[in-house]
Amino acid sequence: MSFNKLSASFYRRDDVVEVARDLLGKVLCSHIGGHLTKAIITETEAYAGMGDRASHAYAGRRTARTEPMYLEGGIAYVYLCYGIHHLCNVVTGERDDPQAVLLRAGEPLAGLDEMRSRRGKASAGNKLLAGPGSLSQALGIRTRLSGVSLLGDRLWVEDQGFSVADHEFVIGPRIGVDYAGDDAARPYRFLLTRFAH
DNA sequence: CGAATGATATACT
DNA sequence: GTATATCATTCGA
């Protein structure tokens, strides 16, 4: 149904930072519980694998939770944070190179009613997909989807031709990674200027 | 500004 | 096996 679904080669590049930048303006799509929802990706963060203290895979840490990150690029890594929020990542790079891009925010494109329904009370205004927990909740993404292929028909990313020029986004340090020491300062966060908040 | 909320990792016995 | 601290956040007071 989607002619423009991103293919494996998009995800399997060496440089996760490049993928994080390129995901801006792409469209995150889910077909879950019989509902199709789509959102333009407006904020991403790169997690650069074993050498990145902010990453769950730092120093090669490998557990049942993080196992998807060690698989070949092009699958989802979803985990529960603060006991409440399901955070959605796109795994990149080759097998055994655990890099991933956290999807932090989006702009609604399709399935608005279902998004609002899933978000409940807090779905008002422009906060529908603002923040990684909210984005996942609106698209119905749960930890159950961790490890699923992004080339399948439940969760994927499309290129609908929204181009993002260099002056249309800003780069900054990642959010909520103070525990990562010097790595917390890495310029790995990408945010479309228009949706900065 | 602080509570919510539970899986997960790690350090024990 | 059991205990405990931590967490890539969000919402409402």
- Residue–nucleotide distance: A9 CA to C12 C1' (Å): 44
How does pLDDT run across A50-59, given as a tens digit for each residue?
Answer: 999 999 999 9
| Residue (of A154, A165, A101) closest to A132 by Cα position | A101
* pLDDT tier, A126 (very low <50, low <70, confident <90, very high otherwise): confident
In this model, does residue A125 exceed pLDDT 90? no
Q: Which amino acid does the sequence have at A197?
A: H
Nucleotide nearest to A61 (CA to C1'): B9
- Residue–nucleotide distance: A164 CA to B10 C1' (Å): 43
* pLDDT tier, A1 (very low <50, low <70, confident <90, very high otherwise): low
Instruction: Give nucleotides in strand C with any atom < 7 A to a protein C-beta.
Output: 6-12
In this model, does residue A158 exceed pLDDT 90? yes
- Residue–nucleotide distance: A86 CA to B4 C1' (Å): 15
Rounded CA-CA distance A188/A163 in Å is: 20
Q: Residue range A135-141: average pLDDT? A: 98
* pLDDT tier, A117 (very low <50, low <70, confident <90, very high otherwise): very high
- Residue–nucleotide distance: A99 CA to B10 C1' (Å): 23
- Give the residue with greater pLDDT, A18 vs A2: A18
Task: Give the three-state DSSP class for A130.
Answer: strand
Residue at token pair 């799509």:
A29
Rounded CA-CA distance A60/A50 in Å is: 5
What domains lie within chain A, and their CATH numbers? 8-195 (3.10.300.10)
Task: Give the pLDDT score at A22.
Answer: 98
What is the enclosing helix (H) or strand (E) of A16?
helix A16-23
Look up the pTM and report it: 0.96
Class of residue A83 by CB neighbours under 10 A (exposed 0-12, middle 13-18, buried 19+):
exposed
Q: Does at least one atom of strand B sit less than 7 Å from the CB of A64?
A: yes
* pLDDT tier, A197 (very low <50, low <70, confident <90, very high otherwise): low
Task: Give the pLDDT score at A143.
Answer: 97
* pLDDT tier, A21 (very low <50, low <70, confident <90, very high otherwise): very high
Q: Residue range A18-39: average pLDDT? A: 98
Residues of chain A with pLDDT > 70, as a percent, come to: 98
Nucleotide nearest to A81 (CA to C1'): C7
Per-residue CB contacts under 7 A with strand C, chain A residues 2-41: none
Q: Does at least one atom of strand B sit less than 7 Å from the CB of A84?
A: yes
Q: Does at least one atom of strand C sit less than 7 Å from the CB of A124?
A: no
Task: Give the three-state DSSP class for A183.
Answer: helix
- Residue–nucleotide distance: A65 CA to B7 C1' (Å): 10
